[in-house]
Amino acid sequence: MAEVQVQAEVAPVAAASSPPPQQQQVVNGVASNNGVSVTTSLYVGDLDLSVTESHLYDLFSPLGTVVSLRVCKDSRTRRSLGYGYVNYSNTHEAARALEVLNFTLLNGKPIRVMYSNRDPTVRRTGAGNIFIKNLDKTIDNKALHDTFSTFGYILSCKIATDNTGQSKGYGFVQFDNEESAKNAIDKLNGMLLNEKQVFVGPFLRKQERESSIGKAKFNNVYVKNLSESTTDEDLKNVFSEHGPITSAVIMRDVDGKSKGFGFVNFENPDDAARSVDSLNGKKFDDKEWFVGKAQKKSEREMELKGQYEQTLKETADKFAGLNLYVKNLDDSINDDKLRELFSEFGTVTSCKVMLDPNGISRGSGFVAFSTAEEASQALMEMNGKMVVSKPLYVAVAQRKEERRARLQEQFSQMRPGAMGPTVGPQVPMYPPGAPHFGQQLFYGQGPPAMISPQPGFGYQQQLVPGMMPNFFMPMLQPGQQNQRQGSRRSAGGPMQQTHQPLPFMQPQVEGFSFYNCN
């Protein structure tokens, strides 16, 4: 763990350890230690995605009687959300587990343990919560906890990290009371931690930060959508009605022609804010002005990026479970034909075939339904269906991050180290008979053919994401790498086999057949 060197004299304000058990008072199953609410339920965060309930039980059970525990998972993908809960039979065992196991490594990642607070009002108020930034990247959760614990009892402590687990340079500490938080801010704000000057201040929710940014005082006002006939003097006359100004200028090109925007600088920030409220959206010379705070390029880019990301998130949330991704489309399929194919399953709210810059179909597209039930029915019916000359691949549309995580998980399972040993040199074959259209079709299969049951000549099946593999082919057996066993042809005679033929194994999947898509 990283050590934090505080280069300032800081006097301890309150004890850092858990409140003494002898001072507990239990009321309705919830204990109180010196004003700190203590329950038998613990929140366990920062879990590695590979951690299961059995891992938690093995770690927490030696410290007391575990009544129940669970790792919270996504309801759709069933993947771990990175946190869980452990419930003990009494508060003493819960307090001991918190003190002993907080920041313990589990599957190579330090966990964060705190009391589970089921009262949402406490979390929403942010009482006792402080924000720390400009932290050295070597400072971890434990080092931050040890630094701030001298000011009072800490409910939660966390360093923000990126996808690789590296510190982002800021974190959060929540005390059990406002006084401890205020003392920590007064003593540590501006101090040096690991030779870096840190900022320590009250935690502000996103809405509060945005409102505070919006209410920031400014003198310079930006005006755009100006008429070409508008002059600097006209700009001064209009804005001077709201207070004294120091300058007003319209930006012009090298030929002196107006670029349609300009800047006005006020002496008083209140006058500048008043001019924005009064003049924004008003028409001058049949032009509707935009009037707002003048921003740096970096501020504008940050604001536009935030708006774009928020729009993407809202769109993804709006169509969660309703939007289907379709690929392997024939080139003749356009938006109208795609809508016609899927409209029998319900109301299609949007439908789009993706095109390249030349207007040629990329072979994929998206179809959105009005309800999740309609989308689910369309997925079941259309996935694998032959359209024109190709079987469709249909799946629930995913965001780029979700799709990347899913593919990484699939590839990790397909690694040779993750594959179990083969049972024997049994070689499956295609079932006899031609396929019929009522059966499921798989894209990417080879033509129906007999595969020679010779050791050392395995066939690796193609795995298509989103489709259930219909059979598995055996890999080489130990000791066969340098052997070439099989058939050989004698001079002028038929093929002779040097070993007994092995039995074929029929696939045991009902309702599925194979189709030559080549």
Tell me the pLDDT band of 514, cut-offs 50, 70 and 90. Answer: very low
pLDDT recorded at residue 358? 87
The answer to whether 198 and 253 are in contact (CB under 8 A) is no
Write a three-state SS string for 46-84: CCCCCCCHHHHHHHHHHHCCEEEEEEEECCCCCCEEEEE
**Is 38-118 a domain of CATH 3.30.70.330?**
yes
Q: What is the mean pLDDT of the chain?
A: 74
Whether the per-residue pLDDT at 84 is higher than 90: the answer is yes
CB within 8 Å of 298: residues ≥ 6 apart: none
* DSSP assignments along 349-385, one per residue: EEEEEEE-TTS-EEEEEEEEESSHHHHHHHHHHHTT-
Write the pLDDT tens digit of every residue in 173-228. 988 888 999 999 998 888 888 888 889 988 877 666 655 555 567 889 999 999 88
pLDDT recorded at residue 163? 79
d(CA 172, CA 184): 12
What's domain 218-294's architecture?
2-Layer Sandwich (3.30)
**Single pTM value for the model:** 0.40
Write the pLDDT tens digit of every residue in 424-467. 444 444 444 444 444 444 444 444 444 444 444 444 444 444 44
Span 263-284, average pLDDT: 89
- Paired residues of 241 in beta bridges: none
CATH annotation of 318-403: 3.30.70.330
Where does the chain hold its CATH 3.30.70.330 domain(s)? Answer: 38-118, 121-216, 218-294, 318-403
What token pair was written down for 158? 């966390």
Which one-letter DSSP state was computed for residue 477?
A: P
Write the pLDDT tens digit of every residue in 234-250. 899 999 999 999 999 99
| More confident position, 207 or 263 | 263
| More confident position, 473 or 132 | 132
Tell me the pLDDT band of 371, cut-offs 50, 70 and 90. Answer: confident
| More confident position, 16 or 349 | 349
Fold of 121-216: Alpha-Beta Plaits (3.30.70)
d(CA 313, CA 386): 34
Span 261-287, average pLDDT: 89
